[in-house]
Structures are given as structure tokens and as C-alpha cells.
Amino acid sequence: MNHFSGKTKKRHRKSRVRVVIYFGVILIILSVIYFINPFSSFSRMMTWTKTRESRLHQKFLSVKKLVLPESTKVADIRFEFYTALPALEIATSNNVLRKEIKNPSSFLSNPDEMMKTYVRKMPEKGYIIQVGVFKDILKAKMYRAYLSKQGFHAVIAKVHNTAHQLYRVQIGPFLSEADVKKTRQRLQGKGIESLGPIYN
């Protein structure tokens, strides 16, 4: 009887050991799967991301073809702003005006010539400063606007000549030659040529 009970105990011990080993192996396998699974999930996520990116890129290309056909070239697109801008004549300084004006004779820059030819009486008595003479009234107005932006109040006076009508851009009148000198120094500081004082 004792002999059978001893064998039974040994069998129970062996079966317990086997059960423990069996569960241990299962736990090890589950642990390995648990640790490996995140990496496989990460790889699957990266693959999905690349696939999604590729699909989005293809959709973008298809939309781009709808919006901008292949036959259209970006270089052929022109804006009226860029084509119209060079045609505008904007007075920025005496030097720029000389370059932009196609007919150089329309702007007389020789002070002696201006002094001899275009001095005339003004409605108000006093000294004036002459800053330019133009054949074209529009160019005279453009230059007057430029002077206004520079802080100088200029007026346009008609100068009657036997050959043609001229327009003189001038600043003044001033009550004294000292005021004329100060204003001419300011003009010189801005790079603007002037002639004066001229008494009217």
C-alpha cells in the first residue's frame, strides 16, 4: 500500500513539474510575441505611411494636371503689370529723368541757357528757384509730384517762346536771397539741380 502511495506521489510531483514547465514555456512564447509585436506594428505603420504618401502624391499630380495642363508653360504666363510698368515715366531725380525722356532737348539742364531764355515776371514779386523746364506738361507735372514727395512745394509756369510752348517747374517766391540759399542747399542735399535766385 505504501509502495503504491509513494509512486502516486512521485507521479503527482512529475505532473506538477511538467505543468510548471508547460506554463513557463507558454509564458516565454507570449513574452517573445509581446516584445516582437510592437516592432512588427511599427513596420506595418511605416509601410502604411509610405503607401499613403505615395497615393497622396499621385492624387496631387492628377489635380495638378487638371489645373495646369502639360502644354501650359509657366514662362508663357504674363501679367499686364510687368508689361505696363516699363512704359510709365516716373520722375525720381534729375539724372533718371534725363535717361527716361526720349527727347533730351525737352529738358534743358544748362543753367546759363535757362537764365538767358526763360526768365520772366511772376504774378507775385520775390525770388524763385528754377528746377526744370519741359516741353511736355505731363512730364512737368510728374516732376512737380516728385518734388512734392521730397518736401518741396513747386509750381508750373508757362514760358512763351517763339518756337514752342515750354513749362517751367519752380519753387518760390522767397522774400530774401538767404531763404533761396537755404532751399537750394536742401535741394542739393536731395541731389536735385536748381537755378537761382531769380528775381521776378
Task: For 68-117, write each residue's pLDDT tens digit.
Answer: 555 544 444 444 544 444 554 444 445 545 555 544 444 445 555 555 55
Task: For 37-77, write each residue's pLDDT tens digit.
Answer: 555 556 666 777 777 777 777 766 776 666 555 554 444 44
14 membership: H or E segment, kind and range: helix 2-67
Give dist(CA 125, CA 134) in Å, integer: 23
pLDDT of residue 122: 43
Q: In whole numbers, what is the pLDDT of the chain averaged over residues?
A: 71
Alpha helices per DSSP H over 128-199? 137-149, 177-189
Give dist(CA 143, CA 156) in Å, integer: 10
CA distances from 158 to 31, 168, 177 (A): 102, 6, 24
**Of 185, 170, 162, nearest in space to 134 by CA:** 170
Q: How far is CA 83 from the centre of its chain?
A: 18
pTM, entire model: 0.39
> Quick check: bond before 173 cis, omega within 30?
yes
Task: For 142-187, write each residue's pLDDT tens digit.
Answer: 999 999 999 999 999 988 765 778 899 999 888 888 999 999 999 9
pLDDT of residue 18: 82
pLDDT of residue 151: 93
Strand residue runs (E) in 43-101: none
Does 6 have pLDDT greater than 80?
no
Task: For 8-32, write each residue's pLDDT tens digit.
Answer: 666 667 777 788 888 888 988 887 7
